[in-house]
Structure 1
Amino acid sequence: MREILADVLPPDSALPILLIVALFAVLAVLIAFFAVFRGSRQREEMTQRSMDAEARLAQLVRMQGEMHGRVAAMAETITSRQSELNHSVNQRLDGISHRLGSTITEQTKSTHENLRKLQERLAVIDAAQNNIQTLAKDVVGLQAILSNKQTRGAFGQGRMETIVADGLPHGAYSFQSPLSNGTRPDCVIRMPNGAPPLVIDAKFPLEAWTAFREAASPEARRAGGQQFKRDMEVHIKDVSEKYLIAGETQDTVLLFVPSESIFAELHEHFDAVVQKAHRARVVIVSPSLLLLSIQVIQAVLRDQRMREQAHLIQGEVGLLMEDLGRLDDRTRKLQSHFIAAERDVEQILTSIEKLTRRGSRITSLELEAPAAAEPSTDAPPQKSVESRTGLLRLRVVDEE
């Protein structure tokens, strides 16, 4: 130690060597005490830790016991809940099974009913299909008829003749009657008041129209439209030249189109043709417009017949007025008789009222008769009841 200190310290140091040695000794004692204190502290901490561990272990054991009790209670609760759940599930399954059974039964009945109705509807559909097949055959036959020009003209002529015959009386029209120029129009309607007859033509260029309707491409449709326009213009010209005869026919000719759809599409796609027909005094009419025209002509004919029979109507009206005058006179006489009878009845009622009042007076006199039996000495003598009754009767007779 001394050697070490001698090496460390300089030789001329003022501190004694013993003091230094003492310092080192105190330092060693302090280090040893600190080591002993630290060891005791560690032992205390280990003891405290072991005590804490034992307390925690005891707490864990207690918690484990409580956990076992809770688990057992939970197990019992779960077991009871499971049994209740099983019972509820069984009840619900039974209810669902019952409802499913009733629902399936109802659905089975409904299915059978729907199948029955479906069979009935299928039977109706079969009948309708048979009707459609029959109608298709008829349409095919009609197409075959319309494919021929002569039969197609006969079809349009037939429709026109039916409309005219249904709307006008016999003798007001004629079919295929000749004109002065040798032509035979389809129908001639005689107008009233000596006016020229009205001519109806029932021919229509259906070939070009069919080509226009059945065209698959725009070029074919355009070509079909141009062909139909040319045919229609030629037909309008022929009708106006043949049937417009000054002084013999009306200044307007009806061109009958046997279909409403053709009439509508003609006005929609070929307005120029319609305008040209109007300028040529040819009116294109559909079945409905022809029927309307026939009804107007029928009203005009009816008005003419009424004017022709006007003098007869006036005579009948005069006779009717005479009968009405006689009826008025007889009614007034009957009224006078009623008034006289009413007066007689009023007089009878007046007499009855007078008799009733006098009868009541007589009754009152009879009731007062005993009081008047003893006459007073001061008053003059009164008449008896019989004399008063006789006087009342005389008064009634005199008033009557």
Structure 2
Amino acid sequence: MVVELLLAAVVLVVLAVVLWLLTTTRRELGELRQATAPADAVTELLRRQIETVRAEGREGQDNVRREVGDLALRMRGDIGDLQQTVATELKGVSSEVTHQLHEGMKLFQTAQTTMGERLDRAARVVSEVQGSLGKLGEATQRVVEVGKDIQGLEQILKSPKVRGGLGETLLAELLSQMLPQEHYTLQHPFKSGERVDAALRIGDRLVAVDAKFPLENFRRMLDETEEDKRRPVRRQFARDVRTRIDEIAKKYILPDEGTFDFALMYVPAENVYYEIIIKDETDLADDPIATYALSKRVVPVSPNSLYAYLQVIILGLRGLRIEANAQIILNDLARLAGDLDKVREPLRTLGRHLGHAQSQFSEAERALDRFGAKLETIERKGGAQAELPEIAP
């Protein structure tokens, strides 16, 4: 297609040249006709020029045809080489492009897989976050509900009787988790008609535990924000605690009824226990509450410190149990010693018999040895007689 276009272009160029020559000749002829009169010589000259031009045109056409043919041949060869080169280059480029496309597809697939995994992980994380947010919402709702319940419980516990019952319940639950049932009693009665909330059995004696505690003035003390107003309320709270200590010492420390000479005052909250035992009380004119309680042989305990006291009691119970088991073992050893004395004399008699039998056995063994020696002597003599020469007749 390219060759044909080139040939057509060359032909058009040649035709344009021929037309230009003809046009030029005609113009010259016209000028000659206008400038001079017609003459045969001029006509002949013009005819020869025309023939010359025609011959030159035919020769030029032949040369152009030859040049165009040669050019077409060369162009065909060049185009063939160019096509082969282009085909080779295109083949290489196609292979490279195909390889790059494969690599690109692999990278795209890998990136797509990685992106899919990341999207899956992101979806899982979002789902987990949504689940966590849902749980957090539920937990928040439960916290709100618990807050409402606590507020309602606070209203309920404003009654001293209900609050005392709750303290007894908490004490009973703690004892049930720490001690066997046979080592404590709830609502233990005394001869006076009083009942202590719990009595711990250590051996054959009791430790009284009282769970009732005055909290009204303590709550008022917490509600006061000014120190000047807190001080008189705190004094009233200290007087309430001392009054309760006196009641415990009077009602529940009864050694004639099997109690130890001390009792435990169960303080149901750690912050109250801190206020009584740990906090500095130098602003009070009286002795500290803890000192006053110990002087009355009443030991204040909180839920945490009661746990430690119960651990000590458990160790004491284990010691008593070990002591009881040791006594049983000692009794068994005494019985075994008596049985050993009973067996010792028969064993001695048996030993004497065995010694006599052993001596008899030794004597019999020696007699047997003597008998064997004599028998060997007789056998040797018999052998010697058999070896004597025979006497000829």
Normalising by the residue count of structure 2, what TM-score does the alignment of the two structures yield?
A: 0.49
Normalising by the residue count of structure 1, what TM-score does the alignment of the two structures yield?
A: 0.48
